[in-house]
């Protein structure tokens, strides 16, 4: 489960580092489309499975993105100014970070429970592996693109 969180966090970090220019927005949309195609191919979902799978998957992705934004932009901005934080504020920030980690765990647990009722346990595990594989491929392509420039 932790790997799965790291996978999306890495993908979202990549997306967050992109500016919101129209070309880069199109690139992010293309990445999302490629991920959907990758997962669809890997899982070989039946039409019935797909009908119930994708709404759960998309809702989960939305929740994860929201938690990532909170972690990256709200908490992250406070961490950047760590030296300026009072001890009291640091204690509050640490408690907030712990609550966020707990929330991420709850979101993941709920997601696994919901998705495994929609697709088999084997396909659920395959989904988790596929997301990790997609992330690795994306990072590899990104590095190749950066190295070629």
Residue 119: strand, helix, or coil? coil
Reported as a pLDDT band with limits 50, 70 and 90, residue 20 is very low
Work out the burial of residue 41: count CB atoms within 10 Å of its CB; fewer than 13 is exposed, 13-18 middle, 19 or more buried: exposed
Domain boundaries, the chain: 1-147
pTM: 0.72
| Token reading at 121 | 């346990």
Over residues 120-147, the pLDDT tens digits come to 999 999 999 999 999 999 899 888 888 7
CB atoms within 10 A of CB 134: 20
Which uninterrupted H or E stretch holds 60? Answer: helix 47-69
Cβ–Cβ under 8 Å, residues 43 and 126 = yes
Residue 80 or 121, more confident: 121
Cβ–Cβ under 8 Å, residues 100 and 67 = yes
| Token reading at 134 | 């997609």
User: Taking residues 56-81, what's their average pLDDT?
Assistant: 89
Cβ–Cβ under 8 Å, residues 84 and 102 = no
> What percent helix, strand, coil does the chain show, rounded to 5?
90, 0, 10
CB atoms within 10 A of CB 73: 10
């Amino acid at each position: 489960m932790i790997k799965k969180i790291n996978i999306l966090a890495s993908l979202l970090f990549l997306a967050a580092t992109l500016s919101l220019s129209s070309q880069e927005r199109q690139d992010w949309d293309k990445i999302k489309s490629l991920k959907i195609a990758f997962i669809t191919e890997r899982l070989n979902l039946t039409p019935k499975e797909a009908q119930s799978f994708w709404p759960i998957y998309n809702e989960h992705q939305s929740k994860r993105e929201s938690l990532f934004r909170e972690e990256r932009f709200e908490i992250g901005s406070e961490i950047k100014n760590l030296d300026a934080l009072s001890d009291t504020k640091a204690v509050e920030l640490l408690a907030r970070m712990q609550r966020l980690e707990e929330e991420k765990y709850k979101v993941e647990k709920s997601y696994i429970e919901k998705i495994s009722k929609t697709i088999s346990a084997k396909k659920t595990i395959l989904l988790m592996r596929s997301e990790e594989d997609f992330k690795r491929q994306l990072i590899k392509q990104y590095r190749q693109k950066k190295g070629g420039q």
